[in-house]
Amino acid sequence: MKRKNNRNFDSAVYEIVKMIPRGKVSTYGEIAKKFGSPKYARAVGQALKRNRRKDVPCHRVVRSDGRMGGYSGGYSGMGEEGSLIKERLLREEGVEVINGRVDLKRFLFRF
DNA sequence: ACTATGACTCCCA
DNA sequence: GTGGGAGCCATAG
C-alpha cells in the first residue's frame, strides 16, 4: 500500500472538518475557501463522500443555503435517507434543523 | 487525453 | 418554492 501522495486533498479536508465543534456546522464552500477558493466546494463533497473514518464529523457539513446536502453514513447508496440521518445527528448535537434546514446565521462555525 | 459524475454554488426566470 | 444553466474541481472509466 503506497498511496500516500495525491490523497492530500482528502486528508486536508478531513483535518478541517475535524475542527468543527459539536453543535456547530460548516459548509462545503467555507471549507473550500480554506484551500484558497470557494471553487473547491464540489471536490470537498467528493472527499467527504469517500470518507469512512469515524473521527470525521462529516454530518456537520451542510450546503451554503443551510440544507442538508448528502450523506452516506459511512456506506454507499444512501440518498434521501442520508439527509434524514444527517439531520437527526445534528439535532442530537443541539443544532436546530427546521424544515430540513439549518440557520447558518446561528450555527455556522467560523474558523 | 477525453468524457461523465457528483454529499456544490451562484444567478436568473 | 421550483427549475434550468453555467462554472469548478477531483476521481473513475
CA distance A48 to A17: 9
For C9, which residue's CA is nearest its C1'?
Answer: A43
Q: What is the pLDDT of residues A57-88, one digit of tens each?
A: 999 999 999 999 999 876 655 566 778 899 99
Does residue A9 lie within 7 Å of nucleic acid chain C, judged by its CB? yes
CB of A58 nearer than 7 A to strand B: yes
Residue nearest to nucleotide B7 (CA to C1'): A70
Nucleotides on chain B that have an atom closer than 7 A to a protein CB are: 6-10
Task: Say whether domain A8-107 belongs to CATH 1.10.10.10.
Answer: yes
Q: What is the pLDDT of residue A20?
A: 97
Q: What percent of chain A has pLDDT over 90?
A: 70
Q: How far apart are CA A64 and CA A66, in angstroms?
A: 5
Q: A10 beta carbon < 7 A from strand C?
A: yes
**pLDDT computed for residue A99 by the predictor:** 94
Write down the pLDDT at residue A22: 96
Work out the mean pLDDT of chain A and round it to a whole number: 88
For A6-25, what is each residue's pLDDT tens digit?
Answer: 568 899 999 999 999 999 99
A77-98 burial: b if 16+ Cβ within 10 Å, else e: ebeeebbeebbebbeebebebe
pTM: 0.89
The type of residue at A103 is: D
- The secondary structure element, H or E, covering residue A31 is helix A28-33
Task: Please report the pLDDT score of residue A40 as a whole number.
Answer: 95
Asked if residue A108 has pLDDT above 60, the reply is yes
